[in-house]
């Protein structure tokens, strides 16, 4: 990457994966960077803590991989491969009748009860005979692609638990590049050949031997100028400079929540009213001791309880739990109090024992048909003033860590070519 001739000084708001990645990249390109992070540790959504000696992913459970070679190359330049282990996904869908079917479910119909399997294959053969009907939304896409039986058994109840709204309201633009779209032929071939799906980003994954995803954040933050416990409430343009917490900067990279930005800006005239219409879901992540099991993720479409996923974080690294103990994070796309969590846990497989919980209000950005235009308009208005949006809730994108790093690369290249 070309070294900046004028060595701009950037303020980066937010020390999550996006802010830390772009800070590293800009620093390596010769720029000065200062990261402002409101919490006392780096990481944002990937933050981990220790509770009763157990590694607790405060939000979900984070593993790393990428299909983008340039992201992998960059990642391994900044993290030591010896500190990680490579694992193969062992994920299952736990069906209402108790059957556990390997993930992705459509490739493992042969593991289901015969009557269910037969009904799904009837649907698939009809789809193959008629061809794929045009879909206008996520709901129609799922029915048209997998048939009504698999839709009713898994896709609809599981996705409703995550998205908490009608799947007809989820636009197809949201799907692009995010979901596999197997043809009937591919599904049948995978079942007959009992072929393992290895194309999805987390079919295999890298996981730190110590410290969980906090290790990734800590490693990226090391050597950077990060101001912890430094919430930024005001971004004020004075002449050509941005004033942030009493210091002056040439430009700002905003990696926080774009909905909070309009109230923070002073000294420029922009209309960001569109961001008020953006919506999101939160997640309650419940740390539990669970029965020993061999899984990495267990997806739960069951209507009997509200949780959609058990993330078997204790199985990700030996150091994550005390010897002899199995642990997991159980996810709910809802804010639940402890009393309700305890009731719910009684209905979930693996006899979970409650240890701790945390609610994060912004975890899943909800993409509607107008989301891309709202973000594009905000970026177009802000960039001429030297403010750039980057990250999951700055861009309202369903980024994984690697996509956040790829976006940081793109923005850094754009800034360094000016």
Ligand X SMILES: Cc1cc2nc3c(=O)[nH]c(=O)nc-3n(C[C@H](O)[C@H](O)[C@H](O)COP(=O)(O)OP(=O)(O)OC[C@H]3O[C@@H](n4cnc5c(N)ncnc54)[C@H](O)[C@@H]3O)c2cc1C
Smaller CB separation from ligand X, 48 or 95:
48
Smaller CB separation from ligand X, 145 or 206:
206
Whole-number minimum distance, CB 98 to ligand X, in Å?
26
Smaller CB separation from ligand X, 17 or 167:
17
Whole-number minimum distance, CB 177 to ligand X, in Å?
15
Rule CB under 6 A: is residue 221 a binding residue for ligand X? no
Rule CB under 6 A: is residue 389 a binding residue for ligand X? no
Rule CB under 6 A: is residue 78 a binding residue for ligand X? no
Whole-number minimum distance, CB 25 to ligand X, in Å?
13
Among 400, 406, 415, 416, binds ligand X (CB under 6 A): 400
SS3 of the chain: CCCCCCCCEEEEECCEHHHHHHHHHHHHCCCEEEEECCCCCCEHHHCEEEECCEEEECCCCCCECCCCHHHHHHHHHHCCHHHEEEEECCEEEECCCCCEEECCHHHHHHHCCHHHHHHHHHHHHHHHHHCCCCCCEHHHHHHHHHCHHHHHHHHHHHHHHHHCCCHHHCEHHHHCCCCCCCCHHHHHHHHHHCCCCCCCCCCEEEEECCCCHHHHHHHHHCCCCEECCCCCCCEEEECCEEEECCEEECEEEECCCHHHCHHHEECCCCCCHHHHHCEEEEEEEEEEEECCCCCCEEECCCCCCCCCEEECHHHCCHHHCCCCCEEEEEEECCCCCHHHHHHHHCCCCCCCEEEEEEEEEEEEEECCCCHHHHHHHHHHHHHHHCEEECCCCCCCCCCCHHHHHHHHHHHHHHHHCC
- Of residues 185 through 214, those in contact with ligand X by CB under 6 A are none
In terms of C-beta distances under 8 Å and separation of at least 24 residues, what long-range contacts does 268-271 make, across chains too?
268/237, 268/385, 270/381, 270/382, 270/385, 271/381
From 75-83, 93-101, 190-198, 389-397, give the range in contact with ligand X by CB under 6 A: 389-397
Whole-number minimum distance, CB 125 to ligand X, in Å?
35
CA–centroid distance for 199 within its chain? 18
Whole-number minimum distance, CB 142 to ligand X, in Å?
21
What is the size of the binding site for ligand X (CB under 6 A)? 34
Whole-number minimum distance, CB 14 to ligand X, in Å?
3
Smaller CB separation from ligand X, 344 or 400:
400
Among 38, 100, 160, 358, binds ligand X (CB under 6 A): 38
Among 74, 389, 402, 411, binds ligand X (CB under 6 A): 402
Rule CB under 6 A: is residue 62 a binding residue for ligand X? yes
From 140-148, 170-178, 348-356, 398-406, give the range in contact with ligand X by CB under 6 A: 398-406
332-371 footprint of ligand X as x/- string (CB under 6 A): -------------------------------x--------
Whole-number minimum distance, CB 110 to ligand X, in Å?
28
Rule CB under 6 A: is residue 63 a binding residue for ligand X? yes
- Give the whole-angstrom CA distance, residue 377 versus residue 275: 10
Whole-number minimum distance, CB 201 to ligand X, in Å?
8
Rule CB under 6 A: is residue 310 a binding residue for ligand X? no
- Of residues 110 through 169, those in contact with ligand X by CB under 6 A are none
Whole-number minimum distance, CB 370 to ligand X, in Å?
21
From 43-51, 122-130, 148-156, 345-353, give the range in contact with ligand X by CB under 6 A: 43-51
Asked if 378 contacts 278 with a C-beta cutoff of 8 angstroms, the reply is no
Rule CB under 6 A: is residue 315 a binding residue for ligand X? no
Rule CB under 6 A: is residue 17 a binding residue for ligand X? yes
Which residues contact residue 314 at a Cβ distance below 8 angstroms, ignoring those fewer than 6 apart? 54, 290, 320, 321, 325, 326, 327, 328
Smaller CB separation from ligand X, 146 or 158:
158
Tallying the residues shown for the chain, one arrives at 418
Smaller CB separation from ligand X, 45 or 300:
45
Q: Give the binding site for ligand X (CB under 6 A).
A: 13-19, 36-39, 44-46, 59-60, 62-64, 231-232, 255-257, 283, 363, 391-393, 399-402, 404
């Amino acid at each position: 990457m070309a070294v900046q001739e004028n060595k701009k000084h950037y303020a980066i708001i937010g020390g999550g994966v996006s802010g830390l990645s772009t800070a590293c990249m800009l620093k390596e390109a010769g720029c000065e960077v200062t990261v402002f992070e409101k919490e006392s540790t780096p990481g944002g959504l990937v933050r981990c803590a220790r509770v009763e000696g157990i590694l607790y992913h405060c939000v979900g459970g984070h593993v790393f991989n990428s299909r983008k070679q340039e992201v992998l190359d960059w990642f391994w330049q900044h993290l030591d491969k010896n500190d990680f282990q490579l694992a193969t996904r062992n994920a299952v869908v736990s069906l209402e009748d108790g059957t556990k079917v390997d993930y992705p479910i459509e490739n493992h119909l042969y593991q289901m009860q015969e009557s269910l399997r037969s009904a799904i294959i009837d649907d698939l053969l009809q789809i193959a005979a008629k061809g794929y009907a045009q879909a206008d939304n996520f709901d129609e896409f799922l029915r048209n692609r997998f048939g009504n039986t698999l839709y009713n058994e898994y896709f609809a109840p599981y996705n409703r638990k995550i998205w908490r709204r009608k799947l007809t309201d989820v636009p197809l633009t949201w799907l692009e590049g995010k979901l596999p779209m197997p043809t009937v032929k591919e599904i049948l071939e995978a079942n007959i050949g009992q072929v393992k799906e290895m194309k999805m980003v987390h079919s295999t994954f890298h996981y730190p031997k110590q410290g969980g995803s906090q290790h990734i954040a800590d490693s990226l933050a090391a050597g950077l100028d990060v101001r912890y416990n430094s919430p930024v409430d005001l971004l004020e343009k004075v002449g050509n400079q941005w004033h942030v917490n009493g210091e002056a900067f040439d430009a700002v990279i905003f990696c926080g929540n774009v909905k909070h930005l309009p109230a923070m800006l002073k000294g420029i005239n922009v209309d960001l009213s569109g961001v008020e219409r953006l919506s999101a879901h939160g997640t309650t992540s419940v740390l539990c001791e669970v029965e020993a099991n061999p899984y990495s993720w267990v997806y739960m479409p069951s209507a009997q309880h509200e949780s959609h996923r058990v993330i078997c974080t204790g199985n990700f690294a030996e150091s994550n739990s005390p010897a002899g103990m199995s642990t997991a994070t159980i996810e709910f796309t809802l804010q639940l109090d402890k009393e309700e969590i305890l009731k719910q846990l009684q209905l979930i497989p693996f006899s979970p024992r409650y240890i701790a919980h945390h609610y994060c209000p912004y975890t899943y950005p909800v993409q509607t048909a107008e989301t891309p235009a709202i973000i594009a308009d905000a970026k177009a208005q802000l960039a001429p003033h030297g403010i750039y949006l980057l990250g999951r809730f700055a861009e309202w994108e369903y980024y994984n860590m690697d996509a956040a790093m790829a976006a940081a690369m793109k923005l850094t290249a754009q800034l360094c070519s000016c």
